[in-house]
Structure 1
Amino acid sequence: MEQTFQKQIPVGGGSWVTVEVHGDPGAPGLVVLPGVMSDARAWRRVASAVRAWPSVAVVNRRGRTPSGPLTDTYSLRTEVEDLYAVLDAFDGTRAVFGWSYGGLIALLAADERPVRQLIAHEPVMRPFGLHALPDLASADERRDRDATVDIVNRRITGLDPARVAALRADREVWEDLRRLSEPLYRETLALNESVPDVMARRADRVDLIVGGASRGTAPYGTSFDDVRRRVPAARVHELADEGHLVHLEAPLQLAELLNGLAD
């Protein structure tokens, strides 16, 4: 479906989030919450291929243009409250889909507020990226975005040096990664906060998705397993041969799975 308009929603601390809406803006639909190093633009191909809901609202979380800043009081709780503001603005939302850090936020939100259906692709939680926090803090203090991108790709996601060098050689791609890395240190710090032993207790239905290339391996597969243990009633679905960046590498396959999961 085509993007129809963009909505700005005020949130706490004088910040705001923007939401890209695809499809019928007046119809209840699916809210999509991206994670770290991602924004609404990166999810347009997925959103345009979703047909099971009459609308798809993709959130640009705070800390990425054109949404507002993280603010000094930023925490995991901030993200949960921001999602509540989005759900209030899109009354009647039928499902929430969270990717990576966005999945963790959605699961925590559904622990306090009723959600008809919650879908999460490879949500991450503590100790994801914990070992790299000192280096991320140092790079953030220096505002060295090249170092931040290098740390997340090498030390957290485990890309080999040749792959990182190829990314750096593509100036447009690397600049986009630098832009998206600005809030990364504080987001990684927040996602390493303690979470309840059980999450999403107020969701009527929870579907967890893991890629076949991630399952059982660090860092995404092992973090998925940590989350899975905290959502005992969830249904688990595997996207064969896919990894964490499925929205970029196989957006049509992800959209097809989402269409099939619509309640």
Structure 2
Amino acid sequence: MSTSKDGTSIAYDKVGAGPAVVVVNGALSARSSSTELAQLLAPRFTVYSYDRRGRGDSADTKPYSVQREIEDLEAVIDAAGGSAFVYGKSSGASLALEAASSLGVKVKKLALYEAPYSEAEGAAREWREFRSRFDALLAADRRADAVTAFMKFVGAPDEAIAGMKSSPAWPGMIAMAPTLAYDNAILGEDRSVPVRTAAKIKANTLVMDGGASLKTMPFMRATADKLGKAVPNAQRRTIEGQGHDVNSKALTPALLEFFN
């Protein structure tokens, strides 16, 4: 357990031996979702998987701000010795990007997988409309409806959502529903690629997307390309055959090569 600057307790797991790697998960994910990836990286690295605030065993101090989440990640990095490699997925990639731009040398290298910014035609309008609906549902404490609205917005088919609702994971998703507002805040008012923030990153950076996402989420390719150009010391890589929910076994070779 580490403690953030505002006193929030941040829970984390530590496994492996070697240089530190901190894993930053995306929406509706507790630290347990990165267990397989951590085990695959553990022979070469000490992997820190943590619960972002409001999730799992971490506390949640109000009011929320993106800066508080950056401080949470910084607290885990400090627990890892003061500097670390950082890998972020989805909105976790967006948080990792924001953190790397402000934490300087504490982030030794940065790996990003499908940060979900979108500058596709109409995306900004759709984003604002979604956030308005979502915020209203959350304000009314209609958590199940809020999670459903989020899943539909990100493209989950009705049958997949029905499967989630009947699965053992659903109560945990409902419990984490308020944190979706945090993920939304990290992506900004219009969900555009934060080129000015990206330009401040000093760390060598690996920007990744999945080959299969080109069909299901075509904006991910354009976003990754733009981030790859905006970050000064970045390289681009596509993990072939993978969608947004990237398979850890497919991802690990890229991370091992980059963090080596």
TM-score range, shorter-chain basis? 0.7 to 0.9
Contact 1:109–1:200 (CA<8 Å) still a contact in 2?
no
Aligned pairs for 1:99-114 within 5 A: 99-112=89-102, 113-114=104-105
Aligned residue number for residue 5 of structure 2: 12
Report the secondary structure of 1:111's partner residue.
Answer: helix
Aligned residue number for residue 133 of structure 1: 131
Contact 2:88–2:96 (CA<8 Å) still a contact in 1?
yes
CA shift for structure 1 position 149:
1.5
Aligned pairs for 1:67-106 within 5 A: 67-72=58-63, 74-91=64-81, 93-106=83-96
Structure 1 147/179 Cα, relative in aligned 2: closer, same or farther at 3 Å? same
Aligned residue number for residue 38 of structure 2: 47
Aligned residue number for residue 122 of structure 1: 114
Aligned residue number for residue 233 of structure 1: 233
CA shift for structure 1 position 232:
4.6
Task: Give the stretch that moved more between structures: 235-244 or 253-262.
Answer: 253-262
**Code of the aligned partner of 1:173:** A
**Code of the aligned partner of 2:92:** G
Contact 2:15–2:47 (CA<8 Å) still a contact in 1?
yes
Partner Cα separation in structure 1 for residue 186 and residue 97 of structure 2: 15
Aligned residue number for residue 207 of structure 1: 206
Report the secondary structure of 1:20's partner residue.
Answer: strand
Structure 1 70/253 Cα, relative in aligned 2: closer, same or farther at 3 Å? farther
Contact 1:29–1:57 (CA<8 Å) still a contact in 2?
yes
**Code of the aligned partner of 2:151:** N
**Code of the aligned partner of 1:154:** K
Task: Determine what percentage of the aligned residue pairs are the same residue.
Answer: 23
Provide the aligned length of Structure 1 versus Structure 2.
248
Deviations, residues 133-181 of structure 1 (Å, cap 9, x unaligned) = 11111111122121112111112x112222222322x231322322232
Q: Which has the higher helix share?
A: 2
CA shift for structure 1 position 229:
4.3
Partner Cα separation in structure 2 for residue 100 and residue 160 of structure 1: 19
Structure 1 229/215 Cα, relative in aligned 2: closer, same or farther at 3 Å? farther
Partner Cα separation in structure 2 for residue 245 and residue 37 of structure 1: 13
TM-score, normalised to structure 1's length? 0.83
**Code of the aligned partner of 2:162:** A
**Code of the aligned partner of 2:99:** A
Aligned residue number for residue 143 of structure 2: 145
Partner Cα separation in structure 1 for residue 45 and residue 225 of structure 2: 32
Structure 1 19/260 Cα, relative in aligned 2: closer, same or farther at 3 Å? same
Structure 1 185/109 Cα, relative in aligned 2: closer, same or farther at 3 Å? closer
Aligned pairs for 1:172-211 within 5 A: 172-192=168-188, 195=194, 197-199=196-198, 201-211=200-210
Contact 1:29–1:53 (CA<8 Å) still a contact in 2?
no
> What are the ranges of 5 or more consecutive residues in structure 1 without an aligned counterpart?
1-7
Partner Cα separation in structure 1 for residue 202 and residue 43 of structure 2: 19
Report the secondary structure of 2:69's partner residue.
Answer: helix
Contact 2:86–2:109 (CA<8 Å) still a contact in 1?
yes
